[in-house]
Chain A
Amino acid sequence: MYDPENFQRMAKGFSLDQAVAESERCLLCHDAPCSKACPADTDPGTFIRKLRLKNVTGAIRTIKENNILGGACGVLCPADRLCEKECCATEISRPVEIAKIQRFLVEHSWERNIKVLEASESNGKKVAVVGSGPAGLSCAAELAKQGCQATIFEARPEAGGVIRYGVPSYRYDVDFLEHELQEIKELGVEFRCNAPLREAGQVEELLENGYDAVFLATGLWAASRLHPEVSNVDGLMTSVEYLASLRDEQFEALRNKIKGSTIAVIGGGSVAIDCAEAAVKLGAEDVYLVYRRSFVQMPAEEVERIEALETGVHFLLLNQPVDFVINHQQKIEGLRLVRTRLEKAKGTGRRIPKAIAGSEWVLDADIVVEAIGNQAESGSPSWYPNVDVDQNGLIQADAATLTTSVEGIFAGGDIVRGPALVVDAVNDGKVAAMAIIEYLSKKEA
């Protein structure tokens, strides 16, 4: 049942005692493999050693200097397939819970008011960052640390991107985000919210309007659709609309709709899991996760899948959505499904689901959420007409420097990679900031 405390707030992290005890299991590895496995070079091998040697402030410094969203990563990283996967302690007992230690240290810094970051003296350079998701935040923070004036343009009313308007609060709450944003503001980063740059060519014009460089990190905010032509149906939502509503002023209305209803979520990824689990927590009567393949083929992380099952989500596997059942008042009534069977794998490929003829049936549902993928907004290439994009609208950027085809414009995060992780976006922000600094110093010379 809905419990505002549990829905709006994340569960508590480690206490000091738990973090210290966990750090004692660390083997203080030479050339720490966990550090090499972190996509953002957060360097757990070092921050855990520092905690172990009672250098707590130093441990916090290591995290925040390397990863301005160290808290978000500690909470949201699928660490069991990143840093913790490589942990040498696995063969002694089990991996060190690196992400939890990381989250603890970040929260500890807030609790004890330990400040480790300082803005440096201004170098007079101005950089525009488009999008305030993890990539934009990371880039702006890094630029500010290097003395640049970074200004973030954000289309939405508040900063954060997916970690504000996507990930549900019970996984990452707004207090936590505000703490992380506060530190970025203290570095001198300027935030301009409600400031979309979506007019034709508007992004490129920044270079003519006083900005020395631009970092594009607009993410993926268009949802893939089963039948794009179906619109304005009451009860039919995309994951993007649905999750954003859970985190803005529409929350109460949506909650009332979900309470006691039957929800069908289409998709097998992490986003689908978030949508389904949130519905259970909000008091839905039944929540179905509809996926055309098998349990093990779901792209969602294993822990997420198991947690969703335990929360009470019904997994409707090997069922492929065909159509929506919509009544004449333009309200959704159900989802037409066809059962599938997995074909024999060809070579090393995935087994393909094939519809079973004549097995169609209708799943009654009051709300259907489509969570089958996020993509670039269809009009986005027009915002930066000279920047090369691929057929899906993803920006093409050099892997090492994140430079685009337009001099002075850099890009990173999901809009370059496609759906990825917070920690990847953080790294892109850092890499781009370093490339921007180098670009600006070369331009000067």
Chain B
Amino acid sequence: MAGKKVDLSVDFCGVKFQNPFLLSSSPVSNSAEMVAKAFEAGWSGVAFKTLNSDRVRIVHPSPRMNPYHYGSKRLVGLQNVEQISDRSLKDNLLDFLYLKENYPDKIIISSIMGFSNEEWAYLAKASEDNGADMLELNFSCPHMTIEGSGHKVGQANHLIEKFTETVKKAVSIPVLAKMTPNITDMTEPALYAKQGGADGIAAINTVRGLSQVGLDDWTVRPKVAGIGAISGTSGPAVKPIGLRFIADLAKCERLGLPLSGQGGIETWIDALEYILLGSSTIQVTTGIIHYGYRIVEDMIEGLSDYMVERDIERVVDLVGKALPTLQDTDKFDLESQGVASYDLDRCVGCGQCLTVCNDSAGQALEWDPLLRRPTLIEDKCLSCMVCSFVCPVSGLISYKQQPSDWQRRETAVMGEQLEAELKLAAFK
């Protein structure tokens, strides 16, 4: 297998990226000094920290983030109240020029946020004039409080269309609209963005949430001079939400725009899942906040090896490959039933399967207290598979298809003797 080459490059909205891995707009893309290191590490492009037009001075709250830990696992989620870039527009644009000069093959996506048509147009033009290869319109910052900005725009479809249209008129480079997940159906605002001329969609921005409440001071975190606020949550905890919105957008035939997926990506597997659900590029922040730019090395290597193993030459051939089998639940074949299957040679005797089967499933296990081994009563197994979720030995418990004539036993009824006391008439 060694030596076999795979092509990780992608064409995204007409722009060529060396690989699908980009920094998303956040502290990890705050300055050229930092982005240069990211480019050296292997990232193919950057959505730069959202520019502002210097009209209002931006000050970040202090402190501005809070971790969501799970046991000793750090940062399964991250909450932040950071604002858009607190640097001057001039400084940011000088950094664009520097990056373009030193890393001509890397892609700069200028993330911008305006408050009026004029301001959107101004930021777009300034970006294009100073080397930006693409734009990303930030319609999605979840803690902007001003109507007509951030995710408030993302929830007002006509503004999305209007601002996108304004930007498209001002520049000729491709334009992405970055969407908020703090909404029920993302395809609707995405279609308005398309109506306004957007060339692609980036999603998701952070999910409004609360990561922690202080037990001593009864104040949520991050605590900014005594005050907490609902704000943006990111990281692995939100990946299921991100995948869901990307899949919705990719499935929407009327939309048909290329997607830049993000939300909880840390490894090549996370990235590939986003790709298989329709993203052509993926973006990362929290993964970098947790581990640094170096994670891209493992994304590149991991994805390449996967492709070599499966004889897939171009990463673009993977985009959207999981979409055909993604259907509504009414398409399920309910005749098809199975049970859990135990490979007890590898069992370590912890009995967690028993505990969860008893307390959350089919009462389908018997336990030998001396041998410390479970025995499955197959016709009581619900095939819910919760035992396999807690079993510490990977792959010990697997799903086994049952023949079509197989029958599951009914759930035991404890009150059979009490039929005389039952008060129930048939529903008409």
Residues of A within 8 A of B (CB): 17, 20-21, 24, 27-31, 33, 52, 88-92
Is A88's CB under 8 angstroms from B72's CB? no
Is A89's CB under 8 angstroms from B348's CB? yes
Within 8 A of A (CB), among B212-250: none
Is B354's CB under 8 angstroms from A30's CB? yes
Residues of B within 8 A of A (CB): 71-73, 348-352, 354-355, 367, 369, 372, 392-393
Q: A32 to B73, alpha carbons, bound, how many Å?
A: 24
Residue numbers in B under 8 Å from A92 (CB-CB): 348, 392-393
**What number of residue pairs across chains A and B have CB atoms under 8 A from each other?**
43
Q: Which listed residue (A17, A27, A30, A52) contacts B348, Cβ 8 A? A: A27
Interchain residue pairs with CB less than 8 A apart (5): A17-B72, A27-B348, A29-B350, A30-B355, A89-B348
B69's nearest neighbour on chain A, judged by CB, is: A20
Residue numbers in A under 8 Å from B348 (CB-CB): 27, 88-92
Residue numbers in B under 8 Å from A17 (CB-CB): 72
Output the least CB separation between A100 and chain B (Å): 15
Q: A92 to B346, alpha carbons, bound, how many Å?
A: 10
B358's nearest neighbour on chain A, judged by CB, is: A30
Output the least CB separation between A369 and chain B (Å): 44
Q: A250 to B350, alpha carbons, bound, how many Å?
A: 51
Q: A54 to B15, alpha carbons, bound, how many Å?
A: 50
Residue numbers in A under 8 Å from B71 (CB-CB): 20, 24, 52
Is A33's CB under 8 angstroms from B393's CB? no
Is B72's CB under 8 angstroms from A28's CB? no
Residue numbers in A under 8 Å from B72 (CB-CB): 17, 20-21, 24
Residue numbers in B under 8 Å from A52 (CB-CB): 71
Known contacts A17-B72, A20-B71, A27-B392: A33-B372 contact under CB 8 Å: yes
Most chain A Cβ neighbours within 10 Å, of B350, B352, B355:
B350
B350's nearest neighbour on chain A, judged by CB, is: A27
Output the least CB separation between A255 and chain B (Å): 42
Is B393's CB under 8 angstroms from A88's CB? no
A17's nearest neighbour on chain B, judged by CB, is: B72
Output the least CB separation between B342 and chain A (Å): 15
A22's nearest neighbour on chain B, judged by CB, is: B72
Residue numbers in A under 8 Å from B354 (CB-CB): 30
Q: Which listed residue (A20, A21, A28, A33) contacts B349, Cβ 8 A? A: A33
Q: A120 to B325, alpha carbons, bound, how many Å?
A: 66
Is B351's CB under 8 angstroms from A30's CB? yes
Q: A52 to B71, alpha carbons, bound, how many Å?
A: 7
Known contacts A21-B72, A24-B71: A31-B369 contact under CB 8 Å: yes
Residue numbers in B under 8 Å from A31 (CB-CB): 351, 367, 369, 372
Q: Which listed residue (A20, A24, A27) contacts B352, Cβ 8 A? A: A27
- Beyond the given pairs A20-B72, A31-B372, A92-B392, 17 more chain A to chain B contacts, judged by CB atoms under 8 angstroms and listed by A's residue number, are A20-B71, A21-B72, A24-B72, A24-B73, A27-B348, A28-B352, A29-B349, A29-B351, A30-B351, A30-B354, A30-B367, A31-B351, A52-B71, A88-B349, A88-B372, A89-B392, A92-B348
Q: A91 to B392, alpha carbons, bound, how many Å?
A: 10
Q: A31 to B353, alpha carbons, bound, how many Å?
A: 12
A19's nearest neighbour on chain B, judged by CB, is: B72
Output the least CB separation between A22 and chain B (Å): 9
Output the least CB separation between A343 and chain B (Å): 39
